[in-house]
């Protein structure tokens, strides 16, 4: 019964952790690039749609490596805070690098440091919600021998 509950918990906590990570990353980006965001909001509708399409494509390219990292952590029960933080930063860097051709005409994605920092914080947020107990199986723990005083 414990295994069923643990499996169901993983099906709830992994998407919840991903959603929290997404909100954290978007919050960091919005706060850091608020002037560019206000400039886009003041622009015409076509420019807004172009930016929305660019951000959607970039988010997809950033989410795929992150999902692969989460799958690895769940499969191998990697619960390290550093692993999940590095997974977030590396995923964002890969997504940023892969979208270089389409983002050159727009300046909202010009600074990779902001996005990588957002990825690090998103990875940390994922770990805080779901990654600290990653994996379906409980890790094998060594048992200390019980010493008796007899």
**pLDDT, averaged across the chain:** 82
> Among the listed ranges 17-21, 67-71, 98-102, 114-118, which one has the minimum average pLDDT value?
98-102
Check whether 101 has a pLDDT greater than 90.
no
Does residue 81 lie within any of the structural domains?
yes
Tally helices (H) and strands (E) across the chain.
Answer: 6, 0
Name the nearest CA neighbour of 18 among 78, 69, 53, 86. 69
Q: Which residues contact 27 (CB under 8 A, 6 or more apart)?
A: none
CA–CA dist 89, 66 (Å, integer): 9
Does residue 48 lie within any of the structural domains?
yes
Does residue 140 lie within any of the structural domains?
no
Provide the domain limits for residue 83. 13-133
Mean pLDDT, residues 26-54 = 83
Does residue 43 lie within any of the structural domains?
yes
Does residue 3 lie within any of the structural domains?
no
Does residue 145 lie within any of the structural domains?
no
Question: What is the total count of domains within the chain?
Answer: 1
> Among the listed ranges 65-69, 88-92, 119-123, 146-150, which one has the minimum average pLDDT value?
146-150
Mean pLDDT, residues 48-67 = 85
More confident residue, 76 or 2: 76
Does residue 149 lie within any of the structural domains?
no
What pLDDT is stored for residue 144 in this prediction?
61
């Amino acid at each position: 019964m414990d295994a069923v509950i643990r499996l169901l918990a993983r099906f709830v906590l992994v998407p919840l952790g991903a959603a929290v990570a997404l909100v954290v990353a978007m919050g960091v980006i919005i706060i850091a690039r608020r002037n560019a965001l206000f400039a886009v909001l003041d622009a015409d509708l076509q420019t807004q749609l172009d930016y929305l399409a660019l951000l959607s494509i970039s988010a997809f390219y950033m989410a795929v490596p992150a999902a692969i990292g989460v799958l690895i952590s769940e499969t191998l029960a990697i619960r390290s805070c550093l692993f999940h933080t590095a997974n977030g930063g590396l995923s964002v860097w890969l997504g940023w690098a892969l979208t270089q051709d389409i983002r050159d005409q727009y300046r909202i994605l010009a600074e990779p440091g902001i996005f990588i920092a957002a990825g690090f914080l998103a990875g940390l947020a994922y770990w805080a919600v779901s990654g600290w107990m990653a994996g379906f199986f409980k890790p094998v723990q060594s048992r200390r021998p019980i010493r008796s005083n007899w």
